[in-house]
Chain A
Amino acid sequence: MDKGSMGNETKLVDIDYDNLQFRVAREAFVSEEVLTGEYEKIFNKCWLYVGHQSEFKKPGDFVARTIARRNILVTMGTDKAIKAFFNTCPHRGATVCRERSGNSKNFQCFYHGWVFGCDGNLKSQPGKESYSEGFAASGAGNLVAVPHVDCYAGFYFISFNPNVESLSDYLAGAKEYLDLVSNYSESGMGISSGTQEYAIRANWKLLVENSVDGYHAVSTHATYLDYLKNTNGSLSSTKLEGHSFDLGNGHAVLEYAAPWGRPIASWIPLWGENGKKEIEQIYARLVERHGEEMAHRMAHKNRNILIFPNLVINDIMAITVRTFYPQAPNYMLVNGWSLAPIEESDWARKFRLSNFLEFLGPGGFATPDDVEALESCQNGFNNFGSVPWSDISKGMGKATPSYDDELQMRAFWTRWNQFISGEPTPQPKLRQVLSAEAA
């Protein structure tokens, strides 16, 4: 992106701390140039979610995924180490793995027949006598590894940036929340089978905002709240109520109470008396393991967690892990999974998945209306020449922003702006106060 378009005269994020106004240029949602900059300066530089530990159980287990437009192959080697490779034959380019997932000790490129082990090393090469003697030994024929792979609390991330900071430093305050989610389980969390793979005809940052937006629930999701009333006799006395926190490095979270049931461990009448007993047992075990205060927080608080730039872990009426990438300024590809304790009972798993589907995903009672809202925004952005700004000032200046303020979006955009403009974003004194509270 050339300096001219990123200079002050056309800045994309406009922060006015004196008047408590935070605005984002709608150009950031429609410009091809901005998208190119996002791939170069954000997706090429940050840590990106690639998969969950539970997807790799034994040597040879693999998944092939598209991460930031690249074909990536992640494998568990014979030494049980998780490795990530660019899924392309070093010889002439074909993808060496054309299955989505499975178990294989070898990957054969079907074009010329080169074979690679699950450690990425070249194992055989038809006509190898025609290559120089040291060719295979030199490593020139091995799959190329992604510069960095690391794991935190069961979540695997990769980075294309050889000089990226450590994952632990990168995750900053988000680590506490990843730990909390992983601590639901005594034997490990696992991704359930079944991937919700869909698309939204909107800019990817709209889904970032929406995933941590506590403000839209009452109007966008009116029919979902009606559904809760209809199926539980009345809407639970639990009000939507809580706070949002800036976790540093562009990560943010909302933590709040809400009127829906949680498989861990907040009962609703729809689940019946048997369900009540089961939920009470799950809760009692949480208290034993984590103490009353933490157990209450785990069971009765919801968390919408954003890991910059594009990982969302929403620990709400079920736990969804969601990641998404732009294909064009107005089109993104979304992948969503369900995460649950591996040891969960059949009852709990069934009710969890049912609870997931009542709200979440393309067939849920809420997500389709989010998709509609995002596409509607994108449509509205066609007017960006005449209506150039979006406003995300809600709750600016509050000492303790509410779950339905927009602090979490400002945390994202502030970090986004640092990467895109290459300049530090001005920090208000107030912001430090908020960060201190979050910690």
Chain B
Amino acid sequence: MNAVAIEKEPIRVPSSAQFAAFVTRAEVEDLLYFEAELLDAWQLREWLELFTQDGCYYVPSTDLPKNASADNSLFYIADDPVRMHERVVRLMKKTAHSEYPRSRTRHLISNVRILDASEEEVLVAAACVTYRMKFGSSDAYIGSSQYRLRRVDGQLRIAEKRVYLDLEALRPHGRVSIIL
């Protein structure tokens, strides 16, 4: 067509196999599926154990760019290890009224990809939909998640979990009272 053809690399499909020396996608999926199961079973103390000692959990507000920091922007959730522990302590109490009686939840994880990996850390992206059912309402939290994983005694652990909601606003839900 064009007299001067522009040399262009053909598009390549990224493969998780290139990180096989450090981690496999199956191992990452096992972790994320187990996490989903613990959350849906309300085994939140066990869920905490999936995190490293310095593990953090973030849910940015829906109008923020992806690179926003909780240090200077208003999130929905920005839990350091202390806050994350306290979140679980709270949610396990009968006086956490928003979640007692407990809502039913279903965490679905899909499109799991390894973005980068090294001896130190594994960077994972996934798509997620979490449903919360309670008192006649069924709300879907649609988004993507990004995980930083590290090995602790050979086991993959979560150093950071960040859930980016695709929703335009937290409506009609009104709360992120469950763990996404």
Contacts and interface: CB of A to CB of B under 8 A. Distances in A.
Interface of A: 100, 192-201, 220, 222-224, 226-227, 230-231, 331, 333-334, 337-338, 346, 349-350, 353-354, 356-358, 361-363, 365, 367-369, 371-373, 375, 379
B83 A193 contact: no
B72 A230 contact: no
Contact of B72 (A197, A227, A346, A379): A346
Given A193-B64, A197-B171, A349-B71, A220 B78 contact: no
A365 B85 CA distance: 12
B59 A230 contact: no
Contacts of A226: 89-90, 93, 95
A369 B171 CA distance: 17
B70 A353 contact: yes
Nearest to A337: B74
B73 A192 contact: yes
A315 B90 CA distance: 24
Nearest to B176: A363
Interface in B42-101: 59-64, 68, 70-78, 80, 82-83, 86-87, 89-90, 93, 95-99
Nearest to A356: B74
Interface range on chain B: under 10, 10 to 19, 20 to 34, or 35 or more? Answer: 35 or more
B86 A338 contact: no
Contacts of B126: none
Q: Which 3 pairs between the two chains have the least Cβ-Cβ distance?
A: A194-B74, A197-B169, A368-B98
Given A226-B93, A227-B90, A230-B86, A194 B174 contact: no
Given A331-B172, A367-B175, A223 B75 contact: no
A346 B71 contact: yes
B172 to A, nearest CB: 5
B86 A201 contact: no
B170 A192 contact: no
B137 interface: yes
B104 interface: no
Contacts of A227: 86, 89-90
Given A226-B90, A362-B170, A373 B71 contact: no
Given A338-B74, A373-B97, A100 B175 contact: no
Interface in B109-127: none
* Candidate in B61, B71, B96, B135 with the most chain A CB atoms within 10 angstroms: B61
Given A194-B60, A365-B87, 14 more contacts: A193-B68, A194-B74, A195-B63, A196-B74, A197-B63, A197-B170, A201-B172, A227-B89, A231-B86, A346-B72, A353-B74, A362-B175, A369-B96, A372-B97
A371 B72 contact: no
Contacts of A224: 90
B44 to A, nearest CB: 14
Contacts of B175: 198, 362-363, 367-368, 371-372
Contacts of B61: 194-197
A278 B140 CA distance: 42
Contacts of B93: 222-223, 226
Contacts of B172: 199, 201, 331
B78 A353 contact: yes
A193 B72 contact: yes
Contacts of B82: 231
Given A196-B170, A197-B63, A223-B95, A362 B76 contact: yes
A193 B74 contact: yes
Interface string B21-33: 0000000000000
A356 B83 CA distance: 13
21 contacts: A193-B74, A195-B62, A199-B169, A199-B171, A223-B90, A226-B89, A226-B90, A227-B89, A231-B82, A333-B171, A337-B74, A346-B72, A353-B71, A353-B73, A354-B80, A357-B77, A362-B174, A362-B176, A363-B77, A368-B99, A369-B96
B173 A362 contact: yes
Contacts of A200: 174
A249 to B, nearest CB: 29
Nearest to B61: A194
B177 interface: yes
* Candidate in A193, A334, A356 with the most chain B CB atoms within 10 angstroms: A193
B143 to A, nearest CB: 13
A198 B172 CA distance: 7
Contact of A100 (B63, B71, B80, B89): B63
Given A220-B97, A226-B93, A199 B72 contact: no
Contacts of B137: 201
Given A220-B97, A222-B95, A363-B176, A198 B86 contact: no
